[in-house]
Amino acid sequence: MTSIEIVEAVRKALEDSPPRGFEESVDLAINLRNVDLTQPQNRIDEEILLPHGRGRPVKVVVFGKGDVAQKAKDAGADYVFDEAEIEALAGDPTRARNLANEVDFFISETVYMPLIGKTLGRVLGPRGKMPLPLTPDKDVTQLVERAHAAIRVRSKDRPTFHVPVGRRNMDPEMLAENVESVITRVEQQLDRGTQNIRSIYVKTTMGPAVKVM
């Protein structure tokens, strides 16, 4: 599979999908084979940087206070919550669910992780959105900036899973580079690389699937 083949597949997916009344996303459908996904260590669970981002705003929450909170705000975090806000969210299940659905990435100072796990874990966990721990060796500014250009890829226990790689209004070459980044990272996480991939398709939200490999 070459970069040219990926670009051709992306172009065909865009051309074969008629214009819609809304802005469609572009997604990959990845199908694995010969991988025992009943074993958690064999599952794909990776944060992947897209070279050209998602093509839409990505929302980020930081749980922190003081200097961390200020840096997070300066870096463009959409919401910054302290301990009182975490407890308020725990007491308002509807608001917590809405936030979990709305926000793409959560980051938290390590001191808050036990409280978040206890109070919000049942909302964030199933969605694959438990916060990335902000350990002392990490810079919250860099984490927020990285989150704006990243996606979370999770296979769970299913051999087929979907990955967003951008929006329909993005340049095909840019979409193709995003696709290549995802495929490369997924291959690296599989014991037998490409041999563990049955097939990969690219499609718009409502369009037909086009085979990439």
Residue 191 domain boundaries = 3-55+152-211
CB–CB of 129/84 below 8 Å?
no
Q: What is the CATH number of the domain that holds 103?
A: 3.40.50.790
Beta strands (DSSP E) in 34-98 are 45-49, 60-63, 79-81
Q: What is the CATH number of the domain that holds 50?
A: 3.30.190.20
Summarize the confidence of residues 27-31 as an average pLDDT: 97
| Band of pLDDT at residue 190, cut at 50, 70 and 90 | very high
Residue at a domain's end among 147, 174, 202:
147
Summarize the confidence of residues 3-23 as an average pLDDT: 92
Question: What percent of the chain has a predicted confidence (pLDDT) above 70?
Answer: 99
Whether residue 103 sits in one domain with residue 26: no
Residue at a domain's end among 125, 147, 169:
147
| Cβ neighbours around 81 below 10 Å, total | 23
* Residue 199 predicted with pLDDT over 90: yes
Taking only the tens place, the pLDDT of each residue in 108-151 is: 999 999 999 999 999 999 988 999 999 999 999 999 998 988 89
Summarize the confidence of residues 56-77 as an average pLDDT: 95
**pLDDT score for 57:** 86
3-state secondary structure 102-149: HCCEEEEEHHHHHHHHHHCHHHHHHHCCCCEEECCCCCHHHHHHHHCC
Whether residue 72 sits in one domain with residue 121: yes
* Residue 164 predicted with pLDDT over 70: yes
Taking only the tens place, the pLDDT of each residue in 83-98 is: 999 999 999 999 999 9
Whether residue 207 sits in one domain with residue 189: yes
- Mean pLDDT, the chain, integer: 94
Whether residue 133 sits in one domain with residue 83: yes
| Band of pLDDT at residue 152, cut at 50, 70 and 90 | confident
* Residue 1 predicted with pLDDT over 80: no
**pLDDT score for 2:** 65
Number of domains in the chain: 2
Whether residue 157 sits in one domain with residue 143: no
Residue at a domain's end among 131, 147, 163:
147
Whether residue 156 sits in one domain with residue 131: no
Question: What percent of the chain has a predicted confidence (pLDDT) above 90?
Answer: 85
